[in-house]
């Protein structure tokens, strides 16, 4: 089941199951918790609060389309 509009705020294990809490006060249980909540992942923080925070590395990139790719070396 997929539910939209939920914000996860809490997670814990209970009898080998995962119990998560949402900002609206509801909870859900499951066998595993998959964190796919982006760069500043709440799930990642809940699992490991001491993990390094994301940081800018200074790396950048530029891309485009060339009319004649064979002319590029």
- Residues lying near ligand FAD in the complex (CB under 6 A) are found at 6-8, 36-38, 42
Minimum distance of ligand FAD from residue 64's CB (angstroms) = 12
Minimum distance of ligand FAD from residue 70's CB (angstroms) = 25
Residue 7 or residue 26: which is nearer to ligand FAD going by CB? 7
Q: From CA 50, how far away is CA 67, in angstroms rounded?
A: 49
Residue 19 or residue 42: which is nearer to ligand FAD going by CB? 42
Torsion angles phi and psi, residue 13, rounded to 5:
-100, 145
């Amino acid at each position: 089941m997929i539910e939209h509009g939920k914000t996860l705020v809490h997670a814990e294990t209970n009898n080998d199951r995962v119990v998560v809490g949402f900002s609206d006060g509801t909870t859900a249980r499951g066998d595993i918790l998959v964190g796919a909540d982006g760069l500043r992942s709440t799930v990642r923080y809940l699992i490991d609060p001491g993990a390094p925070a994301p940081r800018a590395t200074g790396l950048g990139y530029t891309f485009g389309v060339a009319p004649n790719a064979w002319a590029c070396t």
